[in-house]
Amino acid sequence: MMGMFRKRPPVSSSRPRKNQWKESHTGQEIEVKRTKALAGLKTIVQWGGAMTFVGVMAWLGAVAVQQEWPFFRKLLEIHTVAVDGLHRVDREEILDLAGVKPGMPIHHVLTSAVKARVEAHPWIKEAVVERVPLHEVRIAVVERKPAVVVRAGGENFLGDKEGHVLVRLGDLDDGSLPMVTGIDVEKLLRGDGAVRQAVTTGVELAWLMGLTYEGRLHVNAADPENLVATVRGVQFHFGEDGLGDQWQRFQQVVPAMRTLNFDGAGDGPSDVDLRYKNRVVVRERG
């Protein structure tokens, strides 16, 4: 019975003290912050060293270039400017437009700018500009080809097959080329699209009709829906579209037109109208 009232020894608790985990967590945060700070400082030091190295090398490079500039300039200067593809245009004209000459630093040549300046010449259709290490600039051009004489504003103009004006002829002429009339001179010089198309049509008609008949072709392009082409005294009326089809239709009926006269004199049909679908209208000389 006495054992029932014996005092039991105190049982020690295994649970941590109330602030034990808090103190441990605080210590870990301090350690993490310290590590990050050291890493950041290390990075700053590394970047600072790298930038210092780059700055020193740049300074040394600048000093070296300044001291050796005549040598480097000589090493990179242009010795030769080659121009290929010229037939009608003078070489000096192209060089003046290009703005490139021996003695210039080759790395100062902007090829796209030189190309644009050279192609501004009315005779130049296309230009290719290359820098050839270490001392050469090469300019290759494609010239426009004369294809038509345009009579406008009381004078003649030489043009290519795309309707570009190449040069003023004034009172001069070139009888080997077809002539287009009925063109507004201001629109021609301005490069108006409709006028260029009219000139192009004249060149196309000259090619089509020249395969069959000799002689210089005159095309009045004042009315695009009634293009009047004259060759050796005979007038042909063409509509605006399908020139090839219209001419082919005429070729099919030629064997039946025994009286068609292409000598520019005498009696016989002198006016052929091809503007009507599936028909060829032939009118007698008035």
CATH number reported for the structural domain that contains residue 106 in this entry: 3.10.20.310
Please indicate, yes or no, whether residues 86 and 199 belong to a single structural domain of this protein.
no
The pTM score is: 0.69
For 154-173, the pLDDT digits (tens) are 999 999 999 999 999 999 99
Classify residue 53: in a domain, yes or no.
no
Domain boundaries, position 246: 148-284
Classify residue 231: in a domain, yes or no.
yes
Q: What are residue 112's phi and psi, to 5 degrees?
A: -65, -40
When pLDDT is averaged across residues 271-276 and rounded to a whole number, the result is: 92
Strand-pair category, 234-238 with 281-284: unpaired
Name the band, by pLDDT with cuts 50, 70 and 90, for residue 93: very high
Classify residue 47: in a domain, yes or no.
no
Check residue 95 and give its pLDDT. 96
Residue of 89, 90, 138, 131 lying closest to 109 (CA atoms): 131
- How far is the C-alpha of 54 from the C-alpha of 30, rounded, in Å? 36
Q: How many domains does the chain have?
A: 2
Boundary residue ending a domain (116, 143, 170)? 143
Q: What are residue 257's phi and psi, to 5 degrees?
A: -100, 70
Please indicate, yes or no, whether residues 118 and 190 belong to a single structural domain of this protein.
no
Q: What is the mean pLDDT of the chain?
A: 82
CB 94 within 8 A of CB 83: yes
Please indicate, yes or no, whether residues 153 and 128 belong to a single structural domain of this protein.
no
Please indicate, yes or no, whether residues 125 and 250 belong to a single structural domain of this protein.
no
